[in-house]
Amino acid sequence: MPRREPAEPKLNNGGRRKRDAPATQKRLLDAAEREFAERGYAGARLHTIATAASVQTTLIHHYFNDKQGLYRAVIERAVSPMQVDSWNLLREHQHFEALARGFVSMLMRFYAEHQHLLAIVRHELIAGSTVVRDILQERITPVATAAIAWMKELQHQGALLADIDPTEIVIMTVSLAAYPFVEGPLLNVVVPGAVPNGAAALQRREDAVVRTLMRAFLAPTQLKPASR
Query: What x-and-dash track marks residues 21-40 binding DNA by CB under 7 A?
Result: x--x----------------
Other Cβ atoms within 10 Å of 70 Cβ, number: 24
Q: What 3-state class would DSSP assign to 160?
A: strand
- DSSP per position, 40-108: HHHH--HHHHHHHTTS-HHHHHHHHSSHHHHHHHHHHHHHTT---THHHHHHH--SHHHHHHHHHHHHH
Q: Which is nearer to its own copies, 23 or 208 (CB)?
A: 208
**Least separation, in Å, of the C-beta of 225 and its own copies?**
7
**Partner whose binding site includes residue 136, from DNA, its own copies, none (CB under 5 to 8 Å by kind):** its own copies
Q: Any contact of residue 141 with DNA (CB under 7 A)?
A: no
Alpha carbon of residue 57 to chain centroid = 27
SS3 197: coil
Residue 194 CB, nearest approach to DNA (Å): 35
Binding site for its own copies (CB under 8 A): 38-45, 119, 121-122, 125-127, 133, 136-137, 140-141, 144-145, 148, 161-165, 167-168, 170-172, 174-176, 178-180, 182-183, 185-187, 189-191, 194-195, 205, 208-209, 211-212, 215-217, 220, 225-228
